[in-house]
């Protein structure tokens, strides 16, 4: 028997067949490497057999485990309530503050007025045309006049 055949017979879970036993034992006596592999394989099988449980878990184990998990998952009602009420109160307060800030903030300036005050706006245009620059009140009055005509 050659080393490759011996290692195949050793690695087989059921062990060597009846015809291979004599040839394998002769080979293991003469080849120290295969003997080491066979010894390691045999010790591994013994260890796996010892570590494999023969008994099943107690039927009461899962019942106790489920009961314990239910206790852990469900905190007491008094522990949950103040936290939920606090979160709701803080959310309401944030909404009230945001609304008050929006309602009490000054309105943004008119886009027409901001354009006319800008360097690219009406100041150069009026100077170029030689027209006196209108005041803010005159501009607003003309805007309101146009809006009343469109109604």
Alpha-carbon Rg of the chain, whole angstroms? 46
Report the predicted TM-score, pTM, of the whole model to 2 decimal places.
0.34
- Could you tell me the residue range of the domain that residue 131 belongs to? 111-150
Question: Is position 130 within any domain?
Answer: yes
Residue 69 included in any domain? no
92 found inside a domain: no
In a domain, 56, yes or no: no
Report whether 1 contacts 23 (CB < 8 A): yes
For residue range 25-74, list pLDDT tens digits in order: 888 889 889 888 888 888 888 877 777 666 666 778 778 878 877 776 66
- Model confidence at 80, in pLDDT bands (50, 70, 90)? low
Question: Does residue 140 lie in a domain region?
Answer: yes
Q: How many CB atoms sit inside 10 A of residue 6's CB?
A: 23
Is 39 part of a structural domain of the chain?
Answer: yes
Q: Is residue 90 scored above 90 in pLDDT?
A: yes
């Amino acid at each position: 028997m050659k080393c490759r055949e011996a290692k195949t017979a050793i690695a087989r879970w059921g062990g060597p067949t009846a015809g291979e036993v004599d040839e394998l034992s002769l080979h293991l006596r003469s080849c120290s490497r295969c003997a080491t592999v066979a010894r390691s394989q045999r010790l591994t099988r013994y260890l796996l057999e010892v570590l494999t449980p023969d008994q099943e878990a107690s039927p009461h184990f899962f019942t106790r485990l489920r009961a314990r998990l239910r206790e852990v998952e469900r905190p007491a009602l008094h522990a949950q309530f103040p936290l939920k009420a606090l979160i709701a109160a803080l959310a309401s307060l944030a909404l009230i503050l945001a609304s008050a800030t929006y309602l009490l903030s000054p309105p943004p300036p008119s886009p027409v007025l901001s354009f006319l005050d800008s360097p690219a706006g009406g100041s150069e245009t009026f100077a170029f045309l030689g027209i006196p620059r209108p005041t803010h009140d005159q501009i607003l009055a003309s805007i309101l006049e146009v809006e009343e005509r469109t109604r």
